[in-house]
A and B are shown apart, each in its own frame.
Chain A
Amino acid sequence: MSEAASARRLVRRGSAVTLLALLALAGVYLLALGFTPIEARQGPAQKIFYLHVPAAWSALLAFSLVGLSGGLYLWLNDRRLDRFAASSAEVGVAFGVVMLTTGPIWAKPIWGTWWTWDARLTLTLFLFFLFVGYLALRAALHDPSERARFSAVVGVLGLLLVPFIHLSVYLFRTLHPQPVVLKPSAPSLPPEMLRTLLISTLAFVLLYIGLVTIRYGVALAEEEREGRLDAA
């Protein structure tokens, strides 16, 4: 199958998965707003949790996969790994925007401030800027192998930040709450809240898969066109 046909097939499949994920997300809105209890101390604002946490997890997953595939690219020199890394970085930045906008909207009524420069928030903001820089670097470099090599190094550096972000709430004094699910002991959430959180996480992961598939198809189509122009 030619690259153009593969790109078309990927875009078709990715679009179907993305549509399914957006419908699932609409279901999450119904579940979270209509069928999940209001937390007694924080009130309705606590329901931001069902979007903020899955968006944060998906962004960190996306950025980690950029680093892993970047490292593998430096080792194996396989163009598919570079295409995947570029796709995952872009989708990760989109999820990062959700994380960094819902966080302050939740913080204002609970902490009394939109933002605080504590370790968790500051490291997360740095990670986000690092991947915005990753995308800018890719856009600025025209030689494909140079672009892939340089951005793979930036991706690996971003990956190194991810464990610090997870552990920052233990290592530093911070306003940000400690994990209620991703911790050694059992999740400290009522079952209805845990159910909504897990369903929302599945919807976000499905959306990640759909969007990365479309973006990979775009990268494939663009490479094919660049190759054709170079050959002409």
Chain B
Amino acid sequence: MPPDNAGYMVAAYVVTAVILVGYSVGLWRRARRAVREDGPRDRA
């Protein structure tokens, strides 16, 4: 009978999702800001 430690597994999966999705969204927003600031010059 395997030990009952599913809580640790759930915690690790939730933490990983929060870190990776959080960083991806943060970076995407930073990228959008950075390219928007460059926009007017590029179109000119």
Residues of A within 8 A of B (CB): 2-5, 7-8, 11, 14-15, 18, 22, 25, 29, 33, 38-45, 47-48, 51-52, 55, 94, 97-98, 101-102, 105-106, 108-109, 207, 210-211, 214-215, 217-218, 221-222, 224-225, 228
Contact = CB atoms under 8 A, between A and B. Distances in A.
Contacts of A224: 38
Binding site of B, secondary structure by majority: helix, strand, loop or mixed? helix
Nearest to A26: B17
A214 B28 CA distance: 7
Interface in B1-44: 2-6, 8-9, 11-13, 15-17, 19-21, 23-24, 27-28, 30-32, 34-35, 37-39, 41-42
A211 B12 contact: no
A55 B16 CA distance: 9
Contact of A48 (B3, B8, B32, B39): B8
Contact of A7 (B4, B13, B38): B38
A44 B6 contact: yes
Contact of B31 (A42, A47, A217, A228): A217
Nearest to A48: B12
A101 B15 contact: yes
B5 to A, nearest CB: 4
Given A5-B42, A221-B37, A44 B5 contact: yes
A4 B9 contact: no
